[in-house]
Amino acid sequence: MIRYVPKAKYSYSAGQAQSVFLNGLKEKKILGTVCNKCKKVYVPPKMYCEECFKPTDGWVELKDEGIVHTAIASFVSWTRDRLEEPIISGTIKLYGSERDYVFPGMFHRICTTYDKVRDMSIIGAKVKAVWNEKRVGSIEDIQCFKEV
Amino acid sequence: MWSKKGRIEDLIFWKGNMEVEAYEYDEGNAGKKFIEGIKEGKFYGIKCSSGKVYVPPRDYCPEDMTEGNYVELTEPYLDLLTEVREDSYGNKLEKPIKVGIIRFLNAKGGIIVRVEGDAKEGDKVKVIKWEWPLVVGKA
Amino acid sequence: MERSANVYRYGLIHVEVRKVRKVAIIGAGMTKFARRHFKTPQELVQEASIKALEEAGLGYNDIDCVVIGSAPDAFDGVHQKGEYLFPAMNKPMTRVFIGGATGVMVPISGYYHVASGMCDKVLAIAEEKMSQARPHPQAVFRYIWDPILETPIGPNLLWIFAMEMHRYMYAYKVPKEDIALVSVKNKANAADNPYAQLGGRITVDDVIKSEVLVWPVNRLDVSPVSDGAAAVVMVSEDVARRYTDTPVWVAGVGWTLDNTEWTGRDLSYNRYLEIAGRMAYKMAGIERPNKEIDVAEPYDPFDYKELMHLEALQLAPKGKAAQLVKEGVFNRDGDLPSSPGGGLLGVGNPIAAAGLMKVISLYWQLKGTAGKMQVKKPVYTGVAQAWGDLMQASTVVVLRR
Ligand SMILES: [Zn+2]
Question: Which pLDDT tens digit goes with each residue over C149-171?
Answer: 999 999 989 999 999 999 999 99
Q: At residue C230, does pLDDT exceed 50?
A: yes
Q: CA of C361 to nearest chain A CA: how many angstroms apart?
A: 31
Nearest-CB residue to B14 (from A12, A16, A57): A12
Which pTM was predicted? 0.93
Residues of A in contact with C133 (CB under 8 A): none
Residues of C in contact with A102 (CB under 8 A): 6, 8, 261, 264-266
Residue C294 carries which side chain, given as an amino acid letter? D
Is A40 in a helix, a strand, or coil? coil
**Interface predicted TM-score (ipTM) of this complex, two decimals:** 0.96
Looking only at Cα atoms, what is the longest distance across chain B?
A: 71
Residue C48 is predicted with a pLDDT of 97
- Which range has highest mean pLDDT (C66-75, C141-150, C319-328)? C319-328
Residue C241 is predicted with a pLDDT of 97
C-alpha A128/C-alpha A131 separation (Å) is 9
How sure is the predictor about C397, in pLDDT bands with cuts at 50, 70 and 90? very high
Q: At residue C1, does pLDDT exceed 50?
A: no
Nearest-CB residue to B24 (from C42, C132, C148): C132
Average confidence score pLDDT of chain C: 93
Q: CA of C89 to nearest chain B CA: how many angstroms apart?
A: 6
Determine contact, residues A13/C146, Cβ cutoff 8 Å. no
**Residue of chain A whose Cα is closest to the Cα of C158:** A74
Determine contact, residues C168/C176, Cβ cutoff 8 Å. no
Q: For the residues C104-115, what does the mean pLDDT come to?
A: 97
Distance A36 CA to ligand 1 centre (A): 7
Determine contact, residues C113/C67, Cβ cutoff 8 Å. yes
CA angle (A115, A116, A118) in 5-degree steps? 60
Q: For the residues C268-293, what does the mean pLDDT come to?
A: 95
Cβ separation of A89 and C139 shorter than 8 Å? no
Distance A125 CA to ligand 1 centre (A): 29
Asked if residue C6 is part of any domain, the answer here is: no
C-alpha C48/C-alpha B65 separation (Å) is 11
Asked if residue C4 is part of any domain, the answer here is: no
Is C224 in a helix, a strand, or coil? coil
Residue C285 is predicted with a pLDDT of 93
Lowest mean pLDDT among A93-102, C43-52, C189-198: A93-102
**Residue of chain B whose Cα is closest to the Cα of A7:** B19
Q: For the residues C65-79, what does the mean pLDDT come to?
A: 91
CA angle (A89, C207, C333) in 5-degree steps? 120
**Residue of chain B whose Cα is closest to the Cα of C59:** B64
The gap from C-alpha A9 to its chain's centroid, in whole angstroms, comes to 24
Cβ separation of A59 and B1 shorter than 8 Å? yes
The string of pLDDT tens digits covering residues C18-50 is 678 999 999 999 999 999 999 999 999 999 999
Residue ranges covered by each domain of chain A: 16-147
A24 DSSP 8-state letter: H
DSSP structure string for A63-132: PSEEEEEEEEEEEE-TT--EEEEEEEEEEEE-SS-TT-SB--EEEEEEES-HHHHHTSTTTT-EEEEEEP
Asked if residue C171 is part of any domain, the answer here is: no
CA atoms within 13 A on the CB side of C231: 29
Residues of A in contact with C152 (CB under 8 A): 138-140
Residue C9 is predicted with a pLDDT of 43
C-alpha C183/C-alpha C202 separation (Å) is 8
How sure is the predictor about C142, in pLDDT bands with cuts at 50, 70 and 90? confident
Q: For the residues A9-17, what does the mean pLDDT come to?
A: 90
**Interchain contact C12–A (C-beta under 8 A):** no
Determine contact, residues C177/C208, Cβ cutoff 8 Å. yes
Do the bridges between strand C133-134 and strand B22-25 make them parallel or antiparallel, or are there none, so unpaired?
antiparallel
Best interface-test mutation with A: which of C1, C3, C6 has the largest number of A CBs within 10 A?
Answer: C6
Residue ranges covered by each domain of chain B: 24-73, 75-139
Q: At residue C16, does pLDDT exceed 80?
A: no
Q: At residue C11, does pLDDT exceed 60?
A: no
C-alpha C263/C-alpha A136 separation (Å) is 23
What's the total number of domains in chain C? 1
CA angle (A34, A39, A45) in 5-degree steps? 25
Residue C137 is predicted with a pLDDT of 84
CA angle (C257, C263, C269) in 5-degree steps? 60
Residue A81 is predicted with a pLDDT of 87
C-alpha C99/C-alpha C76 separation (Å) is 14
How sure is the predictor about B6, in pLDDT bands with cuts at 50, 70 and 90? low
User: C168: closest CA among C322, C287, C31?
Assistant: C322
Nearest-CB residue to A13 (from B6, B11, B18): B11
What count of other Cβ atoms lies within 10 Å of the Cβ of residue A108? 23
Q: At residue C219, does pLDDT exceed 90?
A: yes
Q: At residue C146, does pLDDT exceed 60?
A: yes
Q: At residue A4, does pLDDT exceed 90?
A: no
C-alpha A101/C-alpha C265 separation (Å) is 6
C-alpha A79/C-alpha A73 separation (Å) is 16
Residue C10 is predicted with a pLDDT of 45
Residue C369 is predicted with a pLDDT of 96
Q: At residue C14, does pLDDT exceed 90?
A: no
> What residues pack around ion ligand 1 (CB closer than 5 A)?
A 35, 37-38, 49, 51-52
DSSP structure string for A92-104: EE-SS-TT-SB--
> How far, CA to CA in Å, does C113 sit from each of A33, A119, C117?
41, 50, 7
The string of pLDDT tens digits covering residues B48-87 is 999 999 999 998 998 888 889 999 999 999 999 999 999 9
Residues of A in contact with C147 (CB under 8 A): 10, 12
C-alpha C257/C-alpha C273 separation (Å) is 9
CA atoms within 13 A on the CB side of C385: 37
Determine contact, residues A41/A52, Cβ cutoff 8 Å. no
What count of other Cβ atoms lies within 10 Å of the Cβ of residue C50? 18
Average confidence score pLDDT of chain A: 93
C-alpha C136/C-alpha C361 separation (Å) is 28
C-alpha C352/C-alpha C358 separation (Å) is 10
Identify the chains in contact with C, defined as 3+ C-beta pairs within 8 A.
A, B
Cβ separation of B22 and C134 shorter than 8 Å? yes
Q: At residue C4, does pLDDT exceed 60?
A: no
Q: For the residues C256-283, what does the mean pLDDT come to?
A: 94
**Residue of chain C whose Cα is closest to the Cα of A77:** C156
pLDDT over 70 percentage in chain B: 95
Q: For the residues C179-185, what does the mean pLDDT come to?
A: 98
pLDDT over 70 percentage in chain C: 96
Residue C168 is predicted with a pLDDT of 98
Asked if residue C98 is part of any domain, the answer here is: yes
Residues of C in contact with A106 (CB under 8 A): 263
Q: B112-117, long-range: CB within 8 Å, 24+ apart, which pairs?
A: B115/B78, B115/B81
Looking only at Cα atoms, what is the longest distance across chain C?
A: 66
What count of other Cβ atoms lies within 10 Å of the Cβ of residue C152? 15
Asked if residue C65 is part of any domain, the answer here is: yes
pLDDT over 70 percentage in chain A: 100
C-alpha C138/C-alpha C198 separation (Å) is 19
C-alpha B78/C-alpha A14 separation (Å) is 48
Cβ separation of A79 and C266 shorter than 8 Å? no
**Structural domain containing residue C91:** 25-133+228-234
**Residue of chain A whose Cα is closest to the Cα of C1:** A60
Q: State in words which class domain B75-139 has.
A: mainly beta
- What lies within 8 Å, CB to CB, of C176 at 6+ separation is C169, C208, C216, C218
Best interface-test mutation with B: which of A18, A20, A29, A79 has the largest number of B CBs within 10 A?
Answer: A20
Q: At residue A44, does pLDDT exceed 60?
A: yes
C-alpha A132/C-alpha A128 separation (Å) is 13
Look at B11 and C338; give whichever has higher pLDDT.
C338
Residue C8 is predicted with a pLDDT of 36
